[in-house]
Amino acid sequence: MSAPFRKLFRRSRVHFRYAEVMSVDTDLHLLYLNNGLINYDFLVFAAGSKVNFYGNEHFLDHAVPMKTIDDALRMRNIMLDRMEKAVINTDPAERRKLLTTVIAGGGPTGVEVAGMLAEMRNTFCRGIILN
């Protein structure tokens, strides 16, 4: 479970448990976990998601999916690495290649990523000539 969620709800009646669900008794409102038992009022199952390349799995060789916190950290590290290489590179074509990013998806995540990249560019790449 993500630490920010725990911090966000620390003064509320929301509690987090990291466990494997073994079974559910909907009549008694009991959730049986591998590390205990929880009595619940409302139970919501969030099944999660996985990246769908719609039959184009070869995209994975060049894509940085962003479905998890680990994915987001990996993306950040890749972007910082490329920006650091661009700072010291003197070839304009190679610099442009290092700083070119395609964002596939214009939903909330895509828009957030675009904003984050623009902010990184404006602060980290201020001294780089992009032509």
Whether 112 sits among the annotated catalytic residues: the reply is yes
Q: How far is CA 30 from CA 40, 68, 114, in A?
A: 6, 29, 43
Helix ranges (DSSP H) in 21-89: 69-88
Q: Is 64 helix (H, G, I), strand (E, B) or coil?
A: coil
3's CB contacts (< 8 A; 6+ apart) are: none
Q: How many Å from the N-terminal Cα to the C-terminal Cα in the chain? A: 43
User: 57, 94, 112, 119: which is the annotated catalytic residue?
Assistant: 112
Residues acting as catalytic residues: 112
